[in-house]
A and B are shown apart, each in its own frame.
Chain A
Amino acid sequence: MWQLFRKTPMWRPRPFRDRYDVVIIGGGVHGLATAYYLGRAGVRDVCVLEKSYLGSGASGRNTAIIRSNYRTPEGVSFYDESVKLYERLAADLGYNLLFSQQGHLTLAHTDSAINGLRVRAEVNQLMGVESRLIWPEEIQRLVPALDLSPRPRYPVLAALYHPPGGIIRHDAVVWAYARGADRMGIAIHPFTEAVGIGTSNGQVTSVLTSRGEIRAGVVVNATAGFCSTVAKMVGLHLPIVTHPLQAFVTEPLKPFLDKVIVSATLHVYVSQTDRGELVIGSEIDPYSSYSSRSTLPFLEATAAHTLELFPCLRRVRVLRQWAGICDMTPDYSPILGEVPGLKGFILDVGWGTYGFKAGPVAGKRIAELIATGRTPELIKPFSLTRFYDDTLVGEKAAAAVSH
């Protein structure tokens, strides 16, 4: 019984050394997953630097939605591997992540939206991902609380139903990866900010931190919203613009919604957590910013749009509101892998509004790249060079609002 009240640290503070084989900048799900899978691949002289507490950036601010119903074959196979890793993750890490594969519905309110969803359903099915177009009768059966009448300005016409999609306890994923990495001897240094990166003859040699210099041959930039700042330490300008993304939660309600509901037309997505709170998010703010202050116009507009879908929520009160900052790429796909002309600098950036769901696959494949020296086929389409040889991976249709 008293086990329940015992405090067991998830990771230990380790001495700060001045040399590691690999330094990972960013202690969120991506950095910690990379550390964990590096450890699994036998690379254990690794440290993770985090300027604040673990998971303090986008990993703790996202809406914890997981899915793989993307638009391009490259995107679908990539995110599908992430969903499969998430399915086994609680067992792999020995920690309850509260993964609820409740199903994910993307609503269409216009004819053109139906066409877009139909393309996605076809691509998904071709890639072996469960995803299909459904009509109001079935939508009503799956989500009785949803208003499918002709009352709203844009009535619901159809939906893309993706049964493997769902929600997870995002902080638990961060903590469990940290624990897994720590158990393999990997050093985690929170409250340690990277302030500079040393290079010599086209090779990364060191990271300057707020606690001193670390020599390292491989440096991973896994810093999401601040990735441009870190890339600038090696003189690199990334095709990234940082935008805030806001979300809010309501007071807890009895369980009434067991599907993730997304509407691109209304710029809103809604899910109900195991605690009963509704988590509601929106699209990115319309201007770039590094400020994570939330705003009233967002709350008003997003609440109004939520009521278009669920008028039954009109008396529900908002508990809290927050913002995270997102590293947006022009094609809504991430940037992964090496940088031409600079050995040892690995990018895991450009995660925009879809980073959390890709944490496991990005960590695993970046670790594979570092451990073997070869870029895995799965992440080749997402290299930085795609902007220079005109091979963008356009995921805006499936990633812009449809978390």
Chain B
Amino acid sequence: MSFLVPCPHCGPRDVYEFRYGGEFQRRPPPTVSDQEWADYLYARRNVAGPAKEWWYHRQGCRRWFLAVRDTRTNAVLEAFWPEDKPEGAG
């Protein structure tokens, strides 16, 4: 086992039960320029440190949630449902 992800519904589970969904970002309105849309599609912050990411508990409750994980150590600092922290989800 490499590290545990604390699913907000099922509790701490082996990372291999989850699907990694990439870093969190806001979808821009459809009126933005092509440049900004390509940035949304491709450019990533790719943080070395605490990063907010989507995770899906594929072999558990089968729900998507957000987690803050330190990408240097894989320690998950926090995991929560997106609706619980709408203001912090940016």
Interface residues of A (CB under 8 A from B): 226, 228-229, 232, 237-242, 285-291, 293, 295-297, 330, 387-388
- Contact size class for B? 20 to 34
Task: Report whether B71 and A228 are in contact in the complex, using a CB–CB cutoff of 8 Å.
Answer: no
Q: Is B73 an interface residue (CB 8 A)?
A: yes
For A288, give its contact among B19, B20, B42 (CB under 8 Å).
Answer: B20
Q: Which residue of A lies closest to B5 (CB)?
A: A287
Q: Is B35 an interface residue (CB 8 A)?
A: yes
Q: Which residue of A lies closest to B47 (CB)?
A: A228
Known: A242-B71, A291-B73. A237 touches B2 (CB 8 A): no
Known: A288-B20, A297-B1. A330 touches B71 (CB 8 A): no
Known: A293-B2, A297-B16. A238 touches B48 (CB 8 A): no
CB neighbors of A among B44-86 (8 A): 44-48, 51, 53, 71-74
Q: Which residue of A lies closest to B35 (CB)?
A: A388
B-chain residues with CB within 8 Å of residue A239 when the two chains form the complex: 42-44
Instruction: Give chain A's interface secondary structure class.
Output: loop
Task: Report whether B1 and A290 are in contact in the complex, using a CB–CB cutoff of 8 Å.
Answer: no
Task: Report whether B38 and A286 are in contact in the complex, using a CB–CB cutoff of 8 Å.
Answer: no
Q: Is B34 an interface residue (CB 8 A)?
A: yes
Q: Which residue of A lies closest to B44 (CB)?
A: A241
Q: Which residue of A lies closest to B37 (CB)?
A: A388
B-chain residues with CB within 8 Å of residue A330 when the two chains form the complex: 42
C-alpha spacing A229/B44, complex, angstroms:
11
Task: Report whether B71 and A289 are in contact in the complex, using a CB–CB cutoff of 8 Å.
Answer: yes
Residue with the highest number of chain A CB atoms closer than 10 Å, among B1, B46, B72: B46
A-chain residues with CB within 8 Å of residue B12 when the two chains form the complex: none
Interface residues of B (CB under 8 A from A): 1-2, 15-16, 19-20, 22-23, 34-35, 38-39, 41-48, 51, 53, 71-74
C-alpha spacing A241/B48, complex, angstroms:
10
B-chain residues with CB within 8 Å of residue A237 when the two chains form the complex: 39, 43-46
Task: Report whether A226 and B48 are in contact in the complex, using a CB–CB cutoff of 8 Å.
Answer: yes
* Additional 13 contacts, C-beta under 8 A, given A241-B22, A388-B34: A228-B48, A238-B43, A238-B46, A241-B44, A286-B19, A288-B20, A288-B51, A291-B71, A295-B1, A295-B2, A296-B2, A297-B2, A387-B38
B-chain residues with CB within 8 Å of residue A387 when the two chains form the complex: 38, 41-43
B-chain residues with CB within 8 Å of residue A228 when the two chains form the complex: 44-48
C-alpha spacing A237/B72, complex, angstroms:
19
CB distance from B88 to the nearest CB of A (A): 21
B-chain residues with CB within 8 Å of residue A286 when the two chains form the complex: 16, 19-20
C-alpha spacing A226/B44, complex, angstroms:
13
Task: Report whether B46 and A242 are in contact in the complex, using a CB–CB cutoff of 8 Å.
Answer: yes
Q: Which residue of A lies closest to B51 (CB)?
A: A288
CB distance from B74 to the nearest CB of A (A): 5
A-chain residues with CB within 8 Å of residue B41 when the two chains form the complex: 387
C-alpha spacing A273/B42, complex, angstroms:
38
For A289, give its contact among B23, B35, B74 (CB under 8 Å).
Answer: B74
B-chain residues with CB within 8 Å of residue A295 when the two chains form the complex: 1-2
C-alpha spacing A290/B19, complex, angstroms:
18
Q: Which residue of A lies closest to B15 (CB)?
A: A287
Task: Report whether A288 and B46 are in contact in the complex, using a CB–CB cutoff of 8 Å.
Answer: yes
A-chain residues with CB within 8 Å of residue B43 when the two chains form the complex: 237-239, 387
Task: Report whether B48 and A229 are in contact in the complex, using a CB–CB cutoff of 8 Å.
Answer: yes
C-alpha spacing A359/B57, complex, angstroms:
39
A-chain residues with CB within 8 Å of residue B71 when the two chains form the complex: 242, 288-291
Give 17 pairs: A residue, B residue, CB < 8 Å, sorted on A. A228-B45, A229-B48, A237-B44, A238-B43, A241-B23, A242-B71, A285-B2, A287-B20, A288-B51, A288-B71, A290-B72, A291-B72, A291-B73, A295-B1, A297-B1, A387-B41, A387-B43
C-alpha spacing A229/B35, complex, angstroms:
22
C-alpha spacing A229/B45, complex, angstroms:
9
Q: Which residue of B lies closest to A231 (CB)?
A: B46
Q: Which residue of B lies closest to A243 (CB)?
A: B20
A-chain residues with CB within 8 Å of residue B44 when the two chains form the complex: 228, 237-241
CB distance from B36 to the nearest CB of A (A): 10
A-chain residues with CB within 8 Å of residue B20 when the two chains form the complex: 286-288
C-alpha spacing A286/B35, complex, angstroms:
29
